[in-house]
């Protein structure tokens, strides 16, 4: 009985089920992709850490090949020997070499990009590393003179993705040309920048060496806390005045995965939003089908089917479909994942095997099936109430119209408009569906516009947020200059000297920016409280404050090498440096810490962030200072489009628009079909009375517009109001707590207009079947 029922429901609802399944696929594809990336990369990096025997703590330093250099290394090693938390460590020495890219005769144009740029490479011999041993994951066989084994990081960041496995690289080193061949790609965690090569090449490079590049990789004893050990070593080095770079395993993994976290957050958030559409579609479909089949349901009941049997059949119909959609989406996902993984290497510098992830599978499946179960359970509650006698006797009539909204008699305007208004407000359930879906669509479109504007059209906005900078132009001078001279150049908005140091709080490194007077520096510097003014004041990163329970007004102990200073927290900043472990202080305060900031680095803001104006200013500066100035035009960097975050932003923006359009298309297909079936009789009568197909289609489109616009208004307004909150949440991993990108009412208006036009066109297109049905055949139904 049950199986027969389910089968008959499927047959009847087939086209609706196709729509439903497509939306389920959309939602579960995004959710499972998000979770799969999140969990997959997490376990990938844990595995990689084990495979390469990753160090818990890494120490980096560059020294000269002399007595002093060796003594620094010895000092570091002594500290490690004396620490009870250190199990073992390995010291690796690389040769740091200045190289200049040259164009080889047979090179392709695309590779000229690097021509005559100089860089510093660190060469190491591929050998017997115990800790952070590089794993070769791709290689070409054969004997090559000067083979290079490099990382994805090196290929992407140092070579800008312009070279790959098997390519030769012509470098000029100390006046001599060398050909190198990239013969392998390795993966490691702590050191992804070094180049591994053979003994012969090493001998050559040793000769050309500029200085020694040391890496000391530390494994802690079992049970030792990574962060505590890190802090104690850090303070040990500080007190001995040893300047070294340090990192720890969890930060190394975070460096590789922060972008994955952002992408998966976006996917999961929008998957849940699309799931809302899934829920509304189920509700709409089921309640409608119950209403339309009330006679059949009554007959079934009369034949002895219990209410719960019928109900279970309906629920199973949707559960089976949702399950099928979920399985299809899983197949899709794992078919697409390898392609996606290749793209993601720009961020992860690592090759992930895209293995099936059972957690992502189970959570997504549970979520989709759960939502379907709940909604279909609620939507079928009406079945219980159907009385067989009542249903058989009166059928649809028991669901008769009671109100006559917008009577033709008293409503002004053209007939089509009145009829459209009538049906727009005649059906509550349909309105709920349209408003909810269009709110989702409005939300997506407005956020897409918001992101698109701040990333695509004005990328400086996002760049400034992520770089905690308000600058267009960075100037470095060979001598001290008076900022007032630059302030006088036309178009310059503000000039200030800027420097940064890494201070310590509680043993962790805090990236700290310094300037004379923060109140003069344009932009919002603090998200709470005020900027530091006096020499004992500091504003710290909000994320850092949250992690360490720091409140405004607290006095915190700050160290800078051997100097300790209690400082008052005046406010919170947001910064992506060190994932939020950042601060700002004044020049005076830096002096109290024993640091005298450089004044040769000036930052400049340009009026309206105008790229053209920036170029003009640069021209004038070159005339004024000639060789004594080195500049960095951020507008140019941003507009070159190489920035990965900006690329991701653009992709997200476009993807949201496509997703929104897909949702409109799918849900409107379902809706329009249902409406046409439901009003088939009236459509036929109207045609007989002399309504043309065009009139009826216009009426249908118009009747849907009020609710579409209401939904879009709700969604777009919510979207624009919350766009920055959403972005802050997504970027919180980076240390952003309050995004302040531009939002404007026109973005919501654009969302509403765009959404309305697209919906109108889609509904008009979908309603074409009205044209096909003739008055006569409809009446003969």
Partner 1 sequence: MPEKCLIRTEKLCKSFSTGGVQQHVIKNLDAEIYEGDFTVIMGSSGAGKTTLLYALSGMDKASMGKVFFGDRNITGYNSDQLAIFRRKHCGFVFQQVYLMESMSVMDNVLTAGLLAGGNKRALIKRAKELFKQVGIEPGLWRKFPNQLSGGEAQRVAIVRAVINSPDVVFADEPTGALNSSASEAVLNILTGVNKNGQSILMVTHDMRSARRGNRVIYFKDGTICGELDLGPYVSGDKERHEKLRNFLKEMGW
Ligand X SMILES: Nc1ncnc2c1ncn2[C@@H]1O[C@H](COP(=O)(O)OP(=O)(O)O)[C@@H](O)[C@H]1O
Contact residues for ligand X (CB under 6 A)? 777, 780
Any contact of residue 680 with partner 1 (CB under 8 A)? no
CB of 684 to partner 1, least distance (A): 8
Which residue, 381, 366, 270, 272, is CA-closest to 319? 366
In the complex with partner 1, which residue's Cβ is closer, 222 or 690?
Answer: 690
- Tokens representing 735 are 């240390």
> According to the binding rule CB under 8 A, does residue 688 interact with partner 1?
yes
Nearer to partner 1, 91 or 398 (CB): 398
Out of ligand X, partner 1, none, what residue 397 binds, judged by CB under 5 to 8 A for its kind, is partner 1
* Stretch binding partner 1 (CB under 8 A), from 80-88, 592-600, 631-639, 772-780: 772-780
Answer for which of 2, 88, 203, 415 binds partner 1 (CB under 8 A) is 415
Nearer Cβ to ligand X, position 624 or 779? 779
Q: What is the dihedral of CA 412, 415, 417, 423, to 10 degrees?
A: 110
Show Cβ contacts of residue 416 under 8 Å, excluding neighbours closer than 6 positions.
695, 698, 699, 702
Is residue 571 within 8 A of residue 539, CB to CB? The reply is yes
Please say which residue, 116 or 777, places its beta carbon nearer to ligand X.
777
321: nearest Cα among 357, 269, 363, 286: 286
- Residue 395 CB, nearest distance to partner 1 (Å)? 11
State in angstroms the smallest separation of the CB of 779 from ligand X. Answer: 10
Q: Is 112 in the site for partner 1 (CB under 8 A)?
A: no
Query: Cβ contacts of residue 175 below 8 Å, gap of 6+?
Result: none
Q: Which is nearer to ligand X, 404 or 777 (CB)?
A: 777
**Contacting partner 1 (CB under 8 A), which of 142, 175, 304, 407?**
407
What is the distance between the alpha carbons of residues 625 and 627, in angstroms, rounded to a whole number?
6
Q: Which is nearer to partner 1, 401 or 549 (CB)?
A: 401
Backbone angles phi, psi at 606, to 5 degrees: -110, 145
β-pair partners for 566: 557
Interaction of residue 685 with partner 1, rule CB under 8 A: yes
The answer to whether 130 contacts partner 1 (rule: CB under 8 A) is no
Cβ-based nearer residue to partner 1, 205 or 424? 424
CA gap 367, 390 in Å, rounded: 38
- The minimum distance between CB 777 and ligand X, in angstroms, equals 5
Q: How far is CA 142 from the centre of its chain?
A: 41
Which residue has 């290689």 as its token pair? 139
Long-range contacts of range 38-42, CB-CB < 8 Å, 24 or more positions apart?
38/260, 38/261, 38/264, 38/268, 38/360, 39/357, 39/359, 39/360, 40/352, 40/354, 40/355, 40/357, 40/360, 41/256, 41/257, 41/260, 41/348, 41/352, 42/257
**Quick one: how many helices (H) and strands (E) in the chain?**
25, 21
Structure tokens belonging to residue 290? 């119950």
Binders in 375-404 for partner 1, by CB under 8 A: 397, 400-402, 404
> Nearer Cβ to ligand X, position 2 or 779?
779
If one asks whether residue 774 binds partner 1 (CB under 8 A), the answer comes out as: yes
Distance (Å, rounded) from C-alpha 605 to C-alpha 460? 12
**Cβ pair 685, 779 in contact under 8 A:** yes
| Residue among 372, 219, 396 at smallest CA distance from 290 | 396
The interface mask with partner 1, positions 472-501, x = CB under 8 A, is ------------------------------
Axis crossing angle, helix 358-379 with helix 249-292, rounded to the nearest 10: 30
Does residue 677 bind partner 1 (CB under 8 A)?
Answer: no
Asked if residues 93 and 214 have their Cβ atoms less than 8 Å apart, the reply is yes
Count of residues that interact with partner 1, criterion CB under 8 A: 33
Question: Among ligand X, partner 1, none, what does residue 428 contact (CB within 5–8 Å per kind)?
Answer: none
Q: Of 243 and 771, which CB lies nearer to ligand X in the complex structure?
A: 771
Residue 292, phi then psi, degrees to nearest 5 = -70, -30
Binding partner selected for residue 685 from ligand X, partner 1, none, CB under the kind-specific 5 to 8 Å limit: partner 1
The Cβ of residue 578 has, within 10 Å, a number of other Cβ atoms equal to 18
Q: Which of 2, 741, 75, 709 is nearest to 312 (CA)?
A: 2
Range list of H helices, 2-127: 2-51, 67-82
The option from ligand X, partner 1, none interacting with 419 (CB < 5 to 8 A, set by class) reads partner 1
Residue 110 binds partner 1 (CB under 8 A): no
| Nearer Cβ to partner 1 (288/669) | 288
Check residue 304 for interaction with partner 1 (CB under 8 A): no
Please, which residue, 385 or 769, has the CB nearer to ligand X? Answer: 769
- Distance, in Å, from the CA atom of 562 to the CA atom of 564, rounded to the nearest integer, reads 7
Member of 534, 682, 744, 757 binding partner 1 (CB under 8 A): 682
DSSP notation for 291-345: HHTHHHHHHHHHHT--HHHHHHHHHHHHHHHHHHHHHHHHHHHHHHHHHHHHHHH
Token pair in block for residue 578:
């060190």
> CB of 287: closest distance to partner 1 in angstroms?
18
Q: Which stretch binds partner 1 (CB under 8 A): 115-123, 240-248, 565-573, 684-692?
A: 684-692
Closest approach, Cβ 395 to ligand X, in A, equals 24
Is residue 690 within the footprint of partner 1 (CB under 8 A)?
Answer: yes
Report, in Å, the least distance between residue 397 CB and partner 1.
5
DSSP 221: P
Q: What DSSP string runs through 93-136?
A: EEEEEEEEEE--TT--GGGGGGTT-EEEEEEEE----SSSPPEE
Out of 634, 686, 697, 733, the residue judged to bind partner 1 by CB under 8 A: 686
Residue 15: CB minimum distance to partner 1, A = 24
Q: Which does 400 bind (CB under 5 to 8 A by kind): ligand X, partner 1, none?
A: partner 1
Residues 426-465 that bind partner 1 (CB under 8 A): 426
d(CA 14, CA 28): 21
The answer to whether 11 contacts partner 1 (rule: CB under 8 A) is no
Q: Which is nearer to ligand X, 299 or 778 (CB)?
A: 778
Does 572 engage in binding with partner 1 (CB under 8 A)?
A: no
Cβ 691 to partner 1 shortest distance, Å: 6
The residue among 88 and 408 lying less far from partner 1, judged by its C-beta, is: 408
Which CB sits closer to ligand X, 299 or 773? 773
* Closest residue by beta carbon to ligand X: 777
Q: Distance between CA 657 and CA 449 in Å, rounded?
A: 9
CA 628, CA 644: separation in Å to the nearest integer?
Answer: 32
Residue 692 interacting with partner 1 (CB under 8 A): yes
CB of 777 to partner 1, least distance (A): 8
d(CA 672, CA 668): 6
The minimum distance between CB 776 and partner 1, in angstroms, equals 4
Nearer Cβ to ligand X (400/780): 780
Tell me which stretch binds partner 1 (CB under 8 A): 134-142, 274-282, 530-538, 676-684.
676-684
- Which residue, 297 or 675, is less far from partner 1 as judged by CB? 675
CB count, 10 Å around CB of 256?
Answer: 20
| Helix, coil or strand: residue 477 | strand
Which range, of 2-10, 317-325, 414-422, 736-744, touches partner 1 by CB under 8 A?
A: 414-422
H or E element in which residue 601 lies: strand 601-606
Q: How far is the CB of 678 from ligand X (least distance, A)?
A: 22
Name the site residues for partner 1 (rule: CB under 8 A).
Answer: 397, 400-402, 404, 407-409, 415, 419, 422-423, 426, 679, 681-682, 684-695, 771, 774-776, 779
């Amino acid at each position: 009985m049950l199986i027969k029922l389910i089968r008959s429901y499927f047959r009847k609802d087939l086209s609706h089920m196709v729509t439903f399944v497509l939306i389920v696929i959309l939602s579960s594809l995004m959710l499972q992709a998000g979770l799969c990336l999140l969990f997959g990369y997490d376990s990938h990096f844990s595995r990689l850490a084990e495979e390469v025997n990753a160090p818990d703590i890494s120490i980096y330093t560059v020294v000269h090949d002399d007595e002093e250099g060796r003594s620094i290394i010895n000092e570091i090693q002594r500290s490690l020997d004396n620490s009870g938390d250190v199990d073992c460590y390995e010291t690796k020495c690389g040769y740091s070499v200045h190289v200049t890219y040259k164009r080889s005769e047979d090179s392709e144009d695309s590779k000229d990009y690097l021509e005559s740029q100089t860089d510093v490479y660190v060469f190491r011999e591929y050998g017997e590393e115990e800790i952070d041993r590089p794993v070769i994951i791709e290689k070409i066989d054969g004997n090559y003179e000067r083979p290079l084994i490099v990382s994805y990081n090196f290929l992407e960041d140092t070579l800008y993705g312009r070279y790959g496995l098997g390519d030769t690289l012509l470098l000029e080193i100390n006046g001599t040309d060398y050909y190198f061949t990239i013969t392998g790609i390795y993966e490691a965690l702590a050191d992804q920048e070094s180049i591994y090569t053979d003994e012969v090449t090493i001998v050559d490079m040793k000769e050309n060496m500029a200085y020694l590049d040391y890496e000391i990789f530390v494994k802690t004893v079992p049970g030792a806390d990574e962060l505590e050990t890190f802090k104690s070593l850090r303070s040990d080095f500080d007190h001995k005045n040893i300047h070294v770079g340090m990192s720890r395993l969890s930060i190394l993994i975070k460096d590789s995965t922060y972008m994955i976290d952002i992408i998966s957050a976006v996917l999961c958030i929008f998957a849940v939003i699309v799931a809302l559409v899934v829920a509304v579609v189920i509700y709409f479909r089921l309640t409608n089908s119950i209403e339309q089949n009330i006679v059949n349901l009554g007959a079934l009941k009369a034949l002895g089917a219990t209410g719960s049997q019928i109900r279970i059949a309906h629920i199973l119909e949707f559960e089976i479909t949702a399950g099928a959609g979920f399985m299809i989406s899983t197949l899709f996902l794992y078919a697409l994942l390898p392609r996606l993984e290749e793209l993601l290497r720009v961020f992860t510098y690592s090759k992930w095997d895209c293995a099936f992830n059972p957690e992502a599978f189970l959570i997504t499946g549970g979520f989709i099936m759960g939502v379907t179960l709940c909604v279909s359970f609620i939507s079928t509650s009406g079945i219980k109430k159907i009385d067989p006698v009542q249903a058989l006797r009166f059928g649809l009539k028991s669901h008769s119209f009671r109100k006559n909204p917008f009577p033709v008699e008293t409503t002004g305007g053209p007939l089509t408009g009145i009829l459209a208004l009538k049906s727009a407000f005649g059906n509550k359930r349909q309105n709920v569906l349209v408003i909810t879906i269009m709110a989702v669509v409005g939300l997506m479109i407005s956020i897409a516009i918001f992101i698109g504007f701040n990333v695509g059209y004005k990328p400086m906005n996002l760049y400034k947020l992520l770089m905690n900078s308000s600058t267009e132009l960075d100037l470095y001078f060979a001598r001290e200059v008076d900022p007032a001279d630059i302030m006088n150049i036309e178009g310059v908005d503000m000039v200030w000297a800027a420097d940064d140091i890494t201070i310590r709080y509680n043993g962790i490194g805090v990236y700290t920016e310094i300037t004379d007077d923060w109140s003069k520096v344009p932009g919002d510097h603090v998200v709470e409280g005020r900027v530091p003014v006096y020499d004992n004041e500091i504003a710290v990163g909000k994320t850092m404050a949250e992690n360490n329970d720091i409140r405004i007004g607290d006095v915190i102990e700050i160290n800078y090498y051997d100097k300790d200073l209690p400082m008052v927290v005046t406010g919170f900043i947001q910064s992506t440096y060190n994932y939020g472990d950042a601060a700002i202080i004044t020049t005076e305060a830096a002096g109290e810490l024993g640091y005298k900031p450089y004044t040769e680095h000036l930052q400049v803001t340009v009026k309206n962030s105008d790229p053209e104006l920036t170029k003009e200013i640069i021209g004038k500066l070159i005339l004024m200072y000639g060789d004594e100035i080195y500049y960095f035009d951020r507008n140019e960097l941003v507009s070159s489009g190489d920035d990965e975050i900006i690329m991701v932003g653009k992709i997200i923006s476009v993807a949201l628009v496509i997703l929104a359009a897909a949702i409109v298309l799918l849900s409107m297909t379902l809706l329009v079909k249902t409406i046409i079936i439901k009003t088939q009789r009236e459509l036929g009568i109207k045609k007989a009375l002399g309504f043309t197909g065009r009139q009826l289609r216009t009426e249908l489109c118009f009747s849907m517009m009020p609710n579409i616009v209401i939904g879009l208004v709700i969604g777009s307004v919510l979207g624009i109001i919350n766009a920055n909150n959403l972005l802050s949440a997504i970027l919180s991993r980076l240390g952003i707590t309050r995004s302040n990108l531009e939002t404007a009412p026109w973005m919501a208006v654009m969302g509403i207009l765009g959404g309305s036009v697209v919906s109108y066109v889609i509904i008009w297109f979908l309603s074409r079947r009205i044209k096909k049905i003739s008055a006569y055949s409809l009446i003969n139904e």
